[in-house]
Amino acid sequence: MEKLKPLPEERTCREKIAHAMPRPIIITTVGTALRMVGVVGGVFEPNALFLSVYVVGCIFDALDGWVARNSKRMSVAGEIIDPLVDKVGSLVSFVGALINLVVTKSHPALTSATLMFGLWSSFLHYKSQRKRGKILKQFKLWIKTLRHGSEYTDAKSENGSNENGQTKTTLEMTGYGLILFADLLETYANGGRILGAVSLAASIYYAYRSQQQKNETTST
């Protein structure tokens, strides 16, 4: 008797959209590149075009996780690579924001606060990434994943992110964006930079919350 083949699993509308989109690692890499272009523009020529590029890059950063989960392309490799790419983008944003504050001759207290919050956040990023193994090997894995999509899966695993981590990333990108493009607010430019520094400070709180949540998940 011929064995019946199982019927193909019916996909939801969200899953169909996710499967039709590029691989998550491509979205992650393109998003980071766009953010970097936006940061450079924010340093030398802060205008609406570079702001749009920066915002699109941030949207891509959120989109990669959505595509990964709904297309079921989650993996341990992705859990390592995605935060690594995010950290590269955050470091470039931090340097760009600091240069912007120096060039615009902002208040020393605001510049110092941004420097402190940015360094603190970068240290937390580096500390969390070091737990995943040698940084150089992570970069090599990133390149391999880009080149061999079928061999090296490329999305976050189930434990790759949590709500606190997502909030932290959103606050961080918003903070750097406000500092870089504050001049577009004209008379409210200083207020925008102050709000950006506050947003960076809040991101550090959620970074700690995210790490605690991951530790609790691991222990259970």
The C-alpha atoms of residue 169 and residue 206 are separated, in whole angstroms, by 9
Residue 171, pLDDT score: 87
Residue 212, pLDDT score: 75
3-state secondary structure the chain: CCCCCCCCCCCCHHHHHHHHCCCHHHHHHHHHHHHHHHHHHHHHCCCHHHHHHHHHHHHHHHHHHHHHHHCCCCCHHHHHHHHHHHHHHHHHHHHHHHHHHHHCCCCHHHHHHHHHHHHHHHHHHHHHHHCCCCHHHHHHHHHHHHHCCCCCCCCCCCCCCCHHHHHHHHHHHHHHHHHHCHHHHHHHHHHHHHHHHHHHHHHHHHHHHHHHHHHHHHHC
| Nearest partner of 65 among 163, 134, 177, 195, judged by Cα | 163
Taking the domain 15-214, which CATH number applies? 1.20.120.1760
Q: Are 12 and 6 in contact (CB under 8 A)?
A: no
The C-alpha atoms of residue 127 and residue 123 are separated, in whole angstroms, by 6
Tell me what the mean pLDDT of segment 17-37 comes to.
Answer: 85
Residue 7, pLDDT score: 43
Q: Considering the chain, what is the average pLDDT of its residues?
A: 76
The C-alpha atoms of residue 57 and residue 176 are separated, in whole angstroms, by 13
Tell me what the mean pLDDT of segment 21-50 comes to.
Answer: 88
Tell me what the mean pLDDT of segment 5-20 comes to.
Answer: 71
The C-alpha atoms of residue 46 and residue 155 are separated, in whole angstroms, by 33
The C-alpha atoms of residue 142 and residue 136 are separated, in whole angstroms, by 10
Q: Which residue has the higher pLDDT, 119 or 196?
A: 196
Mean pLDDT lowest among 102-111, 124-133, 189-198, 208-217: 124-133
The C-alpha atoms of residue 183 and residue 42 are separated, in whole angstroms, by 9
Q: Are 193 and 175 in contact (CB under 8 A)?
A: no
Tell me what the mean pLDDT of segment 39-58 comes to.
Answer: 91
Phi, psi at residue 218, to the nearest 5°? -70, -40
Give residue 110's pLDDT band: very low, low, confident or very high (50, 70, 90).
confident
Mean pLDDT lowest among 80-84, 91-95, 136-140, 190-194: 136-140
Residue 117, pLDDT score: 80
Q: Domain residue spans in the chain? A: 15-214
- State what percent of residues in the chain have pLDDT above 70: 71
Residue 39, pLDDT score: 92
